[in-house]
Structure 1
Amino acid sequence: MTQAIILAAGQGTRLRPITNDKPKCLTPIDGKTLLERQSGVLQAAGVTDITVIGGYRIDQIKALGYQCKENSAFESTNMVSTLFCAESVMNADEDLLICYGDIIYQPENLTKVLETDGEVVLMVDKAWRKLWELRLENPLEDAETLKLTDSKDVLELGKKPKSYDEIQGQYTGLIKIRKDKVKDFIAFYHALDKSVTFDGQDFDNMYMTSFIQQLIDANWEVKAALVHNGWLEIDSVSDLEAYQSLQDQGLLKPFCDLG
């Protein structure tokens, strides 16, 4: 069995004015919200134990009937802090999926993650550059490093790349923790030194990539589930407009099939 936690506490400032009065995960694309699309794919794969961690306008998520946990400090914390607001529901009898609230993905991408074995599994897009070129004039400015071994172990992620050679794929915001490592995952977080900075961020504002890198540096097995597109990140109004325009023209399907 697998449970899922969707991280959806942020204000989505880059999606304003769309998010002036709604959480980012309730942004619609082609008639369905990001949360509706992601939860639908999860449920179709048999992942029905879903918790959404809200913050900004959590009332709207609760009103839709989702099981929720709250990050009341969403204005002053980042994703890792948000994740552990749901620590009480993390079940060591199930694999744990951690899902960013501003992504959507096709069923086959989720299947790839579920079927890949590793203490930690990351969905990694090998064809990321095609998608980034849709969104950005200079993909290298926005991309992050990701280095892999031949056996698909992740060695590094989340750094600022100097060239495309340092990017063997792009981390996508979908993570799986194997059930026998869930308790250790929680303990690892609490054992971190809260007085130091992580890639320039304090403990409460640590990036998820920084936390994963801490696991890698501590010799955790972090595996890549390699995909070739089949997902979208909606981070800004320009992202949303670009994807919707391609969808309207019938050109989005090679990147992600919205069904």
Structure 2
Amino acid sequence: MQGLILAAGRGSRLGELTSSQPKGLTPVLGVSMLERQLQAMKAAGLHEIAAASGYKSDMIARYIPQLFHNPHWQTSNMVTSLLGCREFLQADTSIVSYSDIIYPSRVIGQLAQADGDIVVAYDPNWLQQWQLRFDNPLDDAESFSLNPDGLLQDIGQKASTIEQVQGQFMGLFKLTVAGFALISASLAKLTTTEINKLDMTALLSLLLSQGVNIHVMAIADFWFEIDSAYDLAQCEAFMLTHQVELA
């Protein structure tokens, strides 16, 4: 099993923090998100790790030599970066991570053991984090629901009530070689322009509409998404107050 970090974006909402470095290199209590992700993956036994790069790719290469560069990072989304890593994803089962999240290694270990060709990690206790980050959590939260069999049923739509949100996708998922083949087959029906517009939850929603089974793994551990300077301040304050250790 191997790891892949999607690190092509700049993260413009972080302002000056990303004026000279990619979003994933933003430090959280002195250690960048990318370094924390590498530590978690390696501690969980993933020793072959690659990254999708774009903005200031050379800075990512200092940490992860195996890069798949997305030259269109400014005009495309994460799905384009994912497809650009097809050679890597066709070789072995992969744990795929956004570059703007932090989490402990045990979450990687649990995800590695989860059944399914496509497995998304989600937080059923999402509301606490979203209340820290937003005055109104529904300004950002997306729909997320499971069917009676415990598979993903809906994701990525605008949520109008808290009850529509059974959890939030945390930007971490597992793909087997067969799982990536399902994604490739689905996207083969789209134009390059259409693919470039897709974010990850839109891709998952597309797969669901085509009858693809998407498994889920609920997490009970601390994790945090950092999309703005305010998120960063809230994350650091929470970690210090609660003495969070990402081991």
| Interval containing the TM-score (normalised by the shorter chain) | over 0.9
Q: Give RMSD over aligned pairs.
A: 1.7
Aligned equivalents of 1:146 and 1:242: distance in 2? 24
Q: Any residues of structure 2 matched to 1:243-254 within 5 Å, and which?
A: 243-248=235-240, 250-251=241-242, 253=244
Aligned equivalents of 1:119 and 1:211: distance in 2? 15
Counterpart code for 2:37 = Q
Match of 1:241 in 2: 233
The answer as to whether partners of 1:10 and 1:23 remain within 8 angstroms in 2 is: yes
The answer as to whether partners of 2:33 and 2:101 remain within 8 angstroms in 1 is: yes
Aligned equivalents of 1:91 and 1:203: distance in 2? 19
Matching of residue 82 in structure 1 with residue 81 in structure 2: yes
Match of 1:228 in 2: 220
| Alpha-carbon shift at residue 175 of structure 1 (Å) | 1.1
- Offset from partner CA, 1:19-58 (integer Å, 9 cap, x none): 1100011110011110100011111111111111111111
Aligned equivalents of 1:228 and 1:87: distance in 2? 31
Match of 1:258 in 2: 246
The answer as to whether partners of 2:122 and 2:170 remain within 8 angstroms in 1 is: yes
The answer as to whether partners of 2:89 and 2:177 remain within 8 angstroms in 1 is: no
In the superposition, the TM-score normalised over structure 1's length comes to 0.90
SS class of match (1:97) = strand
Match of 1:98 in 2: 96
| Alpha-carbon shift at residue 183 of structure 1 (Å) | 2.9
Aligned length: 247
The answer as to whether partners of 2:105 and 2:246 remain within 8 angstroms in 1 is: no
The answer as to whether partners of 1:128 and 1:228 remain within 8 angstroms in 2 is: no
Match of 2:122 in 1: 124
Report sequence identity in percent. Answer: 31
Aligned equivalents of 1:175 and 1:246: distance in 2? 25
SS class of match (2:51) = strand
| Alpha-carbon shift at residue 16 of structure 1 (Å) | 1.5
With 175-184 and 82-91 compared, the bigger mean Cα shift is at: 175-184
The answer as to whether partners of 2:104 and 2:221 remain within 8 angstroms in 1 is: no
| Alpha-carbon shift at residue 207 of structure 1 (Å) | 1.2
The answer as to whether partners of 2:95 and 2:108 remain within 8 angstroms in 1 is: no
Match of 2:176 in 1: 178
Matching of residue 193 in structure 1 with residue 208 in structure 2: no
Match of 1:199 in 2: none
The answer as to whether partners of 2:5 and 2:99 remain within 8 angstroms in 1 is: yes
Aligned with 1:111 (options 98, 109, 112): 109
- Offset from partner CA, 1:113-147 (integer Å, 9 cap, x none): 11210121000100000111111111111100001
Q: Any residues of structure 2 matched to 1:41-80 within 5 Å, and which?
A: 41-80=40-79
The answer as to whether partners of 1:11 and 1:19 remain within 8 angstroms in 2 is: yes
Aligned equivalents of 1:193 and 1:252: distance in 2? 47
- Offset from partner CA, 1:134-182 (integer Å, 9 cap, x none): 1111111110000102332001100001111110111111111123333
Aligned equivalents of 1:232 and 1:163: distance in 2? 22
Matching of residue 12 in structure 1 with residue 11 in structure 2: yes
The answer as to whether partners of 2:39 and 2:105 remain within 8 angstroms in 1 is: no
Classify 1:12/1:252 alpha carbon distance in 2 versus 1 (closer, same or farther; 3 Å).
farther
| Alpha-carbon shift at residue 193 of structure 1 (Å) | 2.4
